Every structure is written in C-alpha cells, then in structure tokens.
Structure 1
Amino acid sequence: MDMFMDGGWVAAQSGQVMPVTDPTSGAVIDTVPMGQAADAGRAIASAARAFENWKRVPMAERVRLVKACAQAMRDQAPRIGAALNRELGRPLPGCIAEIASSANLLDIYAEEGLRLYATQALGSAPGERIVVTRDPVGVVVAITPFNYPITLLMFKLGAALIAGCPVVTKPSEDTPLSTLLLAELFHATGLPAGLFNVVTGARELGEALVAHPVPRKIAFTGSVPAGKAIAAAAAGTMKRVTLELGGHSAAIVCADADLDKAAEAITRHGFANSGQFCYRVNRLYVERPVYEALLDRLATRARKLTLAPAGGEGDLGPLVNARIFATSEQQIADARARGARILAGGDRATGPGYDGGCYMPPTLIADATPEMLVMREETFGPVIGIAPVDSPAEGLRLANDSRFGLAGFVFTRDLALGMALCEGFEAGSVWLNDIQRASHHVPFGGMKESGLGREKGRYGVVSYLEYKTLYLSWEPPL
C-alpha cells in the first residue's frame, strides 16, 4: 500500500518500503513507503494548496462533508476494522467498535462547528466596531500512535477539518494500513484532495514534518520523550502544539467502597486492549481493611480473561511488538526481585498460536512498593501494581507523587470523601465509582508531563483556531 496525498496513492521518492506485520504471528501482511523529508514536503505542499480553498468554505458545507465522512466510516467499519485487526492484533469486535466510536466523534465535532461565533463589543463609539473572530491556524501535522490509531487520529483530524485546517498525518509504523484506507474512503466520499494526506515512515519523516516551516500546528499523541522533542523542535518556528503524552494513572479504593463494582471496573478498564492505552488503571492504592478482599476479587476476574491466539478468539490480543512487551516483562521482573506477589499472570504465554506474538496474560502485582517500576513508570501493557494504604489521604498523596497527570479513579460510598479525592487528584480526568469510556463532548488531556492542551468537544475545535480582532471605522450617515 502506498502513501495517500493530494487525493491519490503515491510511493516514496526513494522507492524504499517497510513491512507491516501481524502481531499475532509476526507474518508480514503488507508494506508501506519509507517516507523521508522530500515526501513530507510534497504532502505539506498539497495541504497548503488545499488550505487556500478550504478556509473559505462555509461552515455548513464543511459540516455536511464531515458528517458524510462519519457515515462512510460506519458503513465501512467492518472493512477498516478488519485491517486494524490484522495490524494491531486486537480482537476484531473491538476494532470495529473503534471505527464506529470514532465516527461519532466526527459528528460531534461537526455539531460544534455550527456553534462557533464571532463576538462584537457593545461599547463602541458611533462609526466604530470591534469584532473578535477566529481564523483556522493553517496546515496541521498529526502524529498518531498504534494503540487506538483511528480514534486518536479523529481527535485531531475531525477538529482540524471543521476549523478549516488541512492535515498531514503520520501514523505509527505498526498500524498505518487502517489510516491509509480511511484517507481513501474520505476522498471517495467527497472530501477535497489535499485535506487529508497520509505519509508513512519512521523517525526521520516525523522530524521533517515537525521542522518544516509551513505547518502551523503539531498534534501528537505518544511518549513523553517524543513529545518533549516535538515541543522543542516546534518552538523553532513557533508552531502551536497539542501533546497527549500518556499517563501512569492511579486508582484509590476506600474501605467503604463497593468492592465488586470496583473490581469489575478496574479489571475491565485496566486490561482493555491488553493495557495498551494511556489512561488505563496502572497502579492501585487500597485501604488496608479491604485490601485482601479486593485482591481476591481482582484475581478472580483477571484469571477469567482469555488471550486470542493467532487465528483464534479471546478477550485480549498480543502486545503490538517486542519493544512494548519488554516494558511489561521488565516491570514484572523488577517487582518479583523486590518481593512482590504475582496474583495472576506474570509469565509470557507460549505454545501453538502464541509463539509468534508477544502475549502477556493479565498480571496483578500485589504488595507493590513506591520504588518498584510498576508504581513509577507507565507500563502500556496488561500489568497493574497494587499497594495497601492506611488512609485515603495517603492514597491521594501517593497517587499524586508522579510526573504524570492524565487520569485518576476513586471508589467510595462517601460522596463528600469521593468529591474531595477527585478534586485533590492532579489529573486531567477523574472518575468516581465507575470507569466509563471518556466522553467525546468534554475535554481530554493531562496535567504535568502528561501533556499540553485538550482534545474533543468544542475544546478540541477551538485549539485549531486563532483569535483575530477587527477594528472597523466609518463615517456615520446619521
């Protein structure tokens, strides 16, 4: 499969390609171009040409086209979901669900576009008016990760298009196929050429996109080190940045909590997508009176989750590659060496259907201590560290003792205590007594080293707009 730019398929100028593999077996399923700086320049030039027309398109027409693209995603969810299943390894139902959910976000962005207004000060003198309006920032570079490649792309693409901005996207090397298919689908649906360009490649390509002088914004989801490098490079041309840099999210379970509900929510959320997402429960602080009772409930639920072998079905797929898998192995080994208990999982799954992929069963690490890696560093795998605490206040202190601040979770029947803990969390989103999917209508993003800016809802759209103040004067005829 080639890159998609200016409404068509394009090979890399160098002719080089890189493989895309099936994480369940390691087999090569396709190749994509190994794009470099010249390819970045071609895609950006295409977007810049498209911008001149798109920024003048009336909002109602932008909304119509974006909503048509959303419906096309729903119609083609099985096809694009199947491609995502092959390149990511997540069970097929979850991949199809990601496409449908992403289409819903497109619709929400479209609706937010209809609610954008300019403002006019009422105190102007006769023959004078001051109008505050907003212009699209310009060409946007979106760099997206492997774990939810379509959802995290829509965070950026949907908002940018409604705001009037074209996008050049670089998907993860692990999961480029679904993004390429989506670009083709949007173009076939009627999105003008050059508004959604997809270039594929590795670090050199990403650096060229960020350093190029034409784009005015970089939207990135990924690791903290990569985000810091992007922010530093973007400063050279004063580009805007939106950075969602992952998390090491903590949950606090108080002694009065509904333990069955807490265990169900934590297991469902902590191990979804084999732990490969940013705001999952990574570490858990539990009041001592209910510590062992909660451990039992968590272990029972974790052991019931099944792994889907190559060609088979199950609850969880493999980790996407050996590099991601290594973090889980390292954290488990570190915890064992420091005396932790492994309540479930802990060892790589092997045997027929598993040997070709990086499979780790859901793993619970009990009696974790603050110096253990699992309690200090993001795992991005199906591993949860659990520690006892003597009070909710101690739990909150340990939860906040982190350079990350993406999400937090609290379980207690005491509403006043729950609200105090939620308000005390240093995190961009906090859940109380359950863990629902993050809403598309409200801002999503993190504090501290978990990133800069917010995505989704109207908050996402306005981050692709620049304020402009117009001072108007005329001679009053009356």
Structure 2
Amino acid sequence: MRAYGLFIGGEWVGASAGRTFRSTNPYTGEPWATLREATAEDVDTAVAAARTAQKDWQATSGAHRAEALHAIASAVLSHADELAVFETTDNGKIIRETRSQMRFFARLCRYYAGYADKLYGSVIPLDQPTVFDFTVREPYGVVGLITAWNSPISLLGNKLPAALAAGNCAVVKPSEHASVSTLELCKIFQEAGLPAGVVNVVTGGPEVGAAMVAHPDVAKISFTGSPGVGRKIAAAAGKYLKPVTLELGGKSPNIVFADADPEAATVGALAGIFGATGQTCVAGSRLLVQRPVYDDIVGRLAKRAEAIKLGDPLDPASEMGTAANQPQFDRIMASIERAKSDGARLVTGGARATGDGLDKGLFIQPTIFSDVANTMHVAQEEIFGPVLAVLPFDEEDEAVAIANDIPFGLAAGVWTKDVSRAMRMIPKLKTGVVWVNTYRAVAAQAPFGGVKDSGFGRERGEQGLLEFSTVKNVMIDYSSEIRDPFAIKN
C-alpha cells in the first residue's frame, strides 16, 4: 500500500479531519494506495498557499515562467514510464496509451512555454486623436482545476500548463477514483524547482470540488467531467459570478459514407469506441453508416472487435483494459442490458469478459449493437464504455439530422473520399470538433471543446491560453483640453 498526503505550499501534509480513502486497482480488484480526504478547511489552506505564491508568480517574467514549464516538461519525460504505471494501476487504461499521454503532457508544457512571454495586448485607434488606448492581458489569480478519472494527467495537461503560462497559480482536485498519478506529478514539480504554492493538490470527493467552487479567492474554475456535475458547478459558480470552462461529455457521431475507404473507416471506428475502453469524452459511440456499405462495415467491425486483446493493462501487448472503477463498470453493464431490452440487435460482446487473467478485473467485452434507432437509450446517453451503436442512413441530409439529434456536441467524424461532401458536412455538424478521415486525433496547437451539453470554453491551442487570462483596457488622455464633466467623452 502506497500512502499519499495532500500537496499544499510545496509540502506533503495530512488532512485536517484525519480521514483517508483507498484507491483500488481495477485489474486486480485490490486496494493499492491510501489517500487523504480533504475538507473545506484544507481547501482554504491550499487556496491561501496559492494566493501567497501568486504575487511573485504573476510578477515574474514570461521568460522565467517558460523556463519553469520547460523544466517540468523535461522532468515529466524522464519519469514518463513511471507516471504511466501509476496511472494505469489507478484506472486500468492500457500502458501504451498512458505512456503516450505522459509525453503529451510534456508537449503541452513546451507549447505553452512558448506563449508565456508572448501574451500581447493591442493598441486600438480611437476617434479621439489625443487618447492613446491599449489592452493588456492579466491572469485571473488562483484558479481551480478539477479533472476526471479516465485520463488524469492528460486532462490536467489541457489546463495547468496554460494556466501557469498566463501567470496563474492553481489548486487541483483530481477524481477520488484516480488521484495517484496527479500526486506523483507533484514530486516532479518539486524536482523541476517549481516555486512552492504555485500548484497545490487536494484529494477527496465532491465536497472538495464544491469548496473550491465556492471559495471567494478562487477566481476561475476549469472542470472536466459529466454534464450533470458540470451543471452543478456552473450553477454554483454563477452564484459567485465566477467564470468557468466546462469540458463535458459526448455521444459523438462517426459518419461513414459509401465512398469511404472501408478499411480506414473500420479502423477509425474501432479507435473511436474501443480505444481507452471507450472511456473518453470524444468516443465515437454512434456509428452512422450509409446503407450500401452498412452490412459490410458492421461485419468488418465485428470481426475486428472480437480479435481485440484484453489483458493486464500493464502488458504492452494488451489492446483494451478495464473499466476504471466499479461504479463505472456497473453503469456500462446496465446500459448494455437496457440496449438489449430496447430491441437493439447485439452483434458481438454484451457481457463481462472472463478467461485467463481477466476474472478479477473489471473487463467488458467489446460490444456492438446494430439496427439502432436514434431514440434508444444506447444512441442518446453517454455510456462511457466499449459499447458501439450502429445506425443506418440513406442520404447526406439524413446523416446530418441523426448526428445533430442529440443533447451533446463535442466531436464528430466524417469518412468520405468526396472533398466537397466533407466541406458541406463540416458547418452542418453541431460540434466543437470535426475529424475527416481520422478520429480521436489531438495536437497541442488544436483547440478542443464542445457545444450544447458538451460544455463551453476551449482547451489547448491559443484559445486554451486565453481562457486563463482577462483583458484590461487602458486609456491615456494626453491632451491639454479641459472636458465637460457632465457629458461622456467619446
């Protein structure tokens, strides 16, 4: 059993109430780490530490903040394999993916390091010839960053480097289901020489996040998680007029036209739903296939899905790991049973995976339902697991109508060799991301986020940086004219 404290003010400390909780390895079913359960008092202590650090961090030059981010990136790269093992042990995601995500965290640190000394304002020409007007960008101050259990370090990478580059200090709250890799990252911050208090981590359940949102000295919240929790955070933040960025769920349409390369589309569909065991907000969990190729694509998918290698998430040969935790496993299995009872045709999977090396783990067979109606639960609700709903369509407009007939709006995929069709589809799809002839692809430079129930605000790219700064306008009147005090000057 590993034991962790809270990371506050550059030090490892206990929780004020003395309570702890355990993390369970979803592959072995055994507890493997003990963590501290923070209270509102601990959140207050963490925020105070961040406030203390804020003055110097904001005042330091962008060049020095860039150096700090580069140092973190180098340290993360040197410990990437260790961090990946911690995260895989915590949430059951395969090691080949978590290793990649650790390196992407370092990439994001380097990307935003390049921006740290380039937070330019603007000079604005006004109607008044003797008034000089310009803008400056300033950090919010202390920001609260709340991440989910499916990809703790990757999700933190979407937030923290941008926040630090813009001059903010942070209090981080990882999911209580997967906190270890975030706490291990704090050791890397220490190794990299990040000043004490610039990043603080408090662990525990929903009450910890609620205390962060309500804290008067937390100036902004960035949250990744479910739409239900996102709504609560937005409502609570609204009470305090506190800005939020919400990266929430999805039920993304992956649309295959008859002229698409069938092998590429099949691989793209597999990546979209069975990559990361389907536990990703951009999962292409609705596959829309044009009727002339419908049976062929479903057959190809079934054959490939049945060949996916489930196994020890720490084994590089494994292609799909476990559900991340018992509650999520139960939700996925309940959704599978609901799809069966609703009349969707089970093509493959549909049960707990058992066999050599699988019996203790939270493994679920890669599952495909075909002949799905868009009104069914399996087509409308985010399952967040390896469950694919396949829907047929005839014409382009019908595909658009089905794709948009959903509360979510995070991502979409389009598979076609017709460039004109692809360009027509892009503005019609009500999502924040559209992939054409690829799926589940990311880049540090590319902004990411959704619309509708998938949230608002953007992460990564320049837009992700701007989410963590505010604009101040400055007017300097250098005329000698005495103005009329009772009329606005314009």
**Partner residue of 1:464?**
468
Which residue of 2 is the match for residue 326 of structure 1? Answer: 330
1:154 maps onto 2:162 in alignment: no
Per-residue deviation, residues 385-430 of structure 1 (Å, max 9, x unmatched)? 0011121211110110011000011111211112111221000000
Q: 2:101 aligned to 98, 102, 109, which one? A: 98
User: What residue number does 2:407 align with?
Assistant: 403
- Of all paired residues, the percent bearing the same amino acid is 38
Aligned CA RMSD, in angstroms, stands at: 1.6
Does the 8 A contact of 1:250 with 1:282 survive in 2?
A: yes
Partner of 2:487: none
The whole-number CA distance in structure 2 between the counterparts of 1:129 and 1:311 is 60
Report deviation, 1:442: 1.8
CA distance in 2, matches of 1:26, 1:242: 34
Residues 406-415 or 301-310, more deviating: 301-310
> Match for 1:69 among 48, 72, 91?
72
SS in 2 for 1:112: coil
Does 1:217 find its partner at 2:212?
no
Give the counterpart letter for 1:230 in structure 2. Answer: I
Is the CA contact (8 Å cut-off) linking 2:144 and 2:221 kept in structure 1? yes
1:230-241 equivalence runs, <5 A: 230-241=233-244
Cα distance in structure 2, aligned partners of 1:125 and 1:223: 49
Q: CA deviation digits over 1:286-312, x for unaligned, max 9?
A: 111110011111111111111114775
Which runs of structure 2 are paired with 1:73-92 in the superposition (5 Å)?
A: 73-92=76-95
CA distance in 1, matches of 2:188, 2:205: 24
Write the deviation string for residues 41-87 of structure 1: whole angstroms up to 9, x where unpaired: 00000001111111111101101111111111111101111111211
Aligned to 1:7: 10
1:264 is aligned with what amino acid? V
- Give the structure 1 partner of residue 395 of structure 2: 391
CA distance in 2, matches of 1:432, 1:50: 44
2:373 aligned with 1:353: no
| Equivalent runs, 1:192-231 vs 2, <5 Å | 192-231=195-234
State the match for 1:363 in structure 2: 367
Whole-Å Cα distance in 2 between the matches of residues 315 and 461 of structure 1?
34
Instruction: Using structure 1 for the length normalisation, give the TM-score.
Output: 0.96
CA distance in 2, matches of 1:392, 1:25: 47
CA distance, structure 1, for counterparts of residue 176 and residue 220 of structure 2 = 22
Cα deviation, 1:102-133, whole Å, max 9, x if unaligned, reads 11011111112333212223457676421211
| Structure 2: stretches of 5+ with no match in the other structure | 481-490
Question: Which residue matches 1:377?
Answer: 381
**What is the CA–CA distance in structure 1 between the aligned matches of 2:12 and 2:143, rounded to whole Å?**
20
State the match for 2:457 in structure 1: 453
Match of 1:419 in 2: 423
SS of 1:437's partner is coil
Gap regions ≥5 residues in structure 1: none
The 1:412/1:475 distance shift into structure 2, 3 A limit, reads closer
* 1:114-161 alpha-carbon deviations (Å, 9 max, x no partner): 332122234576764212111101100000001111011011111110
SS in 1 for 2:346: strand
Please identify, of 309-318 and 436-445, the stretch whose mean Cα deviation from structure 2 is larger: 309-318
Matched, 1:177 2:180: yes
Q: Alpha carbons of 1:372 and 1:326: their partners in 2 closer, same or farther (altered >3 Å)?
A: farther
CA distance in 2, matches of 1:196, 1:218: 14
Q: Cα offset for 1:338?
A: 2.8
Across the two proteins, how many residue pairs are aligned to each other? Answer: 476
Residue 61 of structure 2 is aligned to residue 58 of structure 1: yes
Q: Following the alignment from structure 1 to structure 2, what is the Cα–Cα distance between the partners of residues 164 and 310?
A: 37
Match of residue 135 from structure 2:
132
**1:65 & 1:158 partners in 2: Cα distance?**
10
The answer as to whether partners of 2:26 and 2:326 remain within 8 angstroms in 1 is: no
Question: In the alignment, residue 74 of structure 1 is paired with which amino acid?
Answer: L
Q: Corresponding residue for 2:485?
A: none
Deviation at 1:474, TM superposition (A): 4.5
Distance in 2, Cα, partners of 1:423 & 1:109: 29
Deviation at 1:335, TM superposition (A): 2.0
- One-letter amino acid matched to 1:451: G
TM-score with structure 2 length normalisation?
0.94
Deviations 1:221-243 (A, max 9, x none): 00001000000101121111000
Q: What whole-Å deviation, never above 9, does each CA across 1:237-272 have from its counterpart, x for those lacking one?
A: 111100001101011111211111100111122111
- After TM superposition, the structure 1 stretch with the greater mean CA deviation from structure 2, 346-355 or 182-191, is 346-355
